[in-house]
Amino acid sequence: MAVEAEPEVEAIVSAEGVTEEAEVTSEMPSNDQVSKAEVTGEAVLFKENQVNNSVELPTDEEPIQPSLSAEELDSIVNKYTISEAHNSTWRDIVKKYGDITHKSNIKNLMLKAACIEIICRIISGLKGTAAQGLEMTTINQFESDLEDVESTKIDVSWLKERLHMLKTILGQSIQFSVMGESFKLKTEILAKLTASIAEDNSKIEDARKEMAKQEALILESQESLKAKKEEFKVVQHAITSQHEEFVRLRTAADKFLYYGTKGFTIDLL
């Protein structure tokens, strides 16, 4: 997995002393964008106590400089046939750490030179790789190559320590990127939920307003119903009374029709 960032790994391993350290900087992800991790070293040292799995960086103390004269330096450098591409790096290593091969258990100068080439190739690989292009598999391969060199008793502790530091920083940067993506995703979900909640609240408010209207309409209808029921009772009572009068009058009318006027006047005289 490649880590995307701006600074180059070149600062991690300097040509002069293979000890320079760069910065680790990061920005907190915003709502619409999560920043890309930057693989650097100086800020990790600054924030060492703030990170749970902090990088165990080398101390600030410079290694003891080998006291080599120009002749001694040239003698060590020229002892081995090193490619022109790596000759400058090899000279810088000797200048910084002295003859790292003096404890080697191999005597063949060509084999030693091959090991030196591996060391220089690792350093050149780091210097020539931009941070955004650096992958964990690359560092793992460098460590594997360095183990082969270390087995010959050539002193590569300084480079091994730096690879371990860089690997740890890269792991943290990858973890930061993953967490950043997770943060971005959760932020987007939160934004959608916020909008959805606002929409639901608006619907609830509209429903409450509609309920208030309906409740007012219900009260109005109940008052109207009550009045109409009262009116119904009055009219019903009036009809009952009128019906009784109607029955009485109809009985009288029926008698009149049945007997006629003669029947009512038969005993008049």
Quickly state the pLDDT bin for 263 (edges 50, 70, 90).
Answer: low
**Where in the sequence is the domain holding 43, given as residue range(s)?**
9-192
Above pLDDT 70, what percent of the chain?
71
Q: Between residues 265 and 34, which one has the greater pLDDT?
A: 265
Domain membership flag for residue 36: yes
For residue 104, CA distances in Å to 75, 107, 189 come to 17, 8, 59
Token pair 């005993």: residue: 267
Residue 196 has pLDDT above 50, yes or no: yes
- Summarised one tens digit per residue, pLDDT across range 252-261 is 777 777 766 6
Domain membership flag for residue 179: yes
Give the number of other CB atoms < 10 A from CB of residue 264. 11
Domain membership flag for residue 40: yes
Q: Which residues contact 251 (CB under 8 A, 6 or more apart)?
A: none
Quickly state the pLDDT bin for 268 (edges 50, 70, 90).
Answer: low
Chain centroid to Cα 74, Å, comes to 54
Domain membership flag for residue 31: yes
Quickly state the pLDDT bin for 9 (edges 50, 70, 90).
Answer: very low
- Predicted local distance difference test score (pLDDT) of residue 194: 97
Count of domains observed in the chain: 1
Contact 96, 17 (CB under 8 A): yes
Domain membership flag for residue 109: yes
Domain membership flag for residue 91: yes
Residue 81 has pLDDT above 50, yes or no: yes
- Predicted local distance difference test score (pLDDT) of residue 260: 65
Domain membership flag for residue 112: yes
Say which range, 34-38, 90-94, 155-159, 212-216, has the weakest mean pLDDT.
Answer: 34-38
For residue 259, CA distances in Å to 59, 245, 246, 249, 254 come to 141, 21, 20, 15, 9
- Predicted local distance difference test score (pLDDT) of residue 246: 84
- Summarised one tens digit per residue, pLDDT across range 210-236 is 999 999 999 999 999 999 999 999 999
- On average, the pLDDT of the chain sits at 78
Report residue 259 as tokens.
Answer: 């007997």
Domain membership flag for residue 90: yes
How far apart, in whole angstroms, are the C-alpha atoms of residue 156 and residue 177?
31
- Predicted local distance difference test score (pLDDT) of residue 131: 78
- Summarised one tens digit per residue, pLDDT across range 114-144 is 999 999 999 999 998 887 888 999 999 999 9
Quickly state the pLDDT bin for 5 (edges 50, 70, 90).
Answer: very low
Residue 94 has pLDDT above 90, yes or no: yes
